Amino acid sequence: MQPTILDRLLAISSLFQRDMHRAFSGTSLTESRVHALWVLHHAGASTQQTLAQALGTTPRSVSALVDGLQTAGYVERRPHPDDRRAVLVTLTPSAEQMMARMQEDHRRLAEDLLAAVEDVDRPAFARGVGAVFWRLSELVRDESVHYAGVEGEQREGRP
């Protein structure tokens, strides 16, 4: 059986996951922590509430995430200049350097991957990837298919 486009996309996703785990092996960085660092790198100092919204998670989860990043030396909490009740989360100087390096590595990888596509095909490729991304975003947001009951049906002898 020939792999489908979906098979290839899933394999690409798996390769990116494997690469990320390898790159951060031996560090305290996880996918969630790296995502938070990317947001702070691009958005600058942010309140935990703003960070939670950007990450699509709860303020409580972000508090634990920031605690871990602070303990590992990646972020600092500073008083908000305009709101005595709020704190700003900022990257430490060493985290800023690491994120600059990561951004450069990201740029080079994107360039290298795109080089695998013929110049003449790149605009269509970019449009196709964008279209697939937006459609998958819609499906994930709206999809109601769940497989939680399938295991129970299989144990009971139902297909």
Domain ranges in the chain are: 5-144
Instruction: Tell me which residue of 33, 61, 31, 35 sits closest to 48, measured CA to CA.
Output: 61
Contact 37, 95 (CB under 8 A): yes
Contact 46, 83 (CB under 8 A): no
pLDDT of residue 154: 57
pTM: 0.80
pLDDT of residue 158: 58
Instruction: Tell me which residue of 113, 86, 81, 89 sits closest to 36, measured CA to CA.
Output: 89
pLDDT digits (tens, 9 = 90+) for 56-84: 999 899 999 999 999 999 999 999 998 88
Instruction: Tell me which residue of 63, 112, 70 sits closest to 90, measured CA to CA.
Output: 70
pLDDT of residue 141: 87
Q: What is the rounded distance in angstroms from the CA atom of residue 66 to the CA atom of residue 108?
A: 29
pLDDT digits (tens, 9 = 90+) for 135-158: 999 998 888 777 877 766 655 555
Report helix angle 31-43 to 93-114, nearest 10: 100
pLDDT digits (tens, 9 = 90+) for 104-138: 999 999 999 999 999 999 999 999 999 999 999 99
Residues recorded for the chain:
159
Is the domain spanning 5-144 CATH 1.10.10.10? The answer is yes
Q: What is the rounded distance in angstroms from the CA atom of residue 114 to the CA atom of residue 144?
A: 34
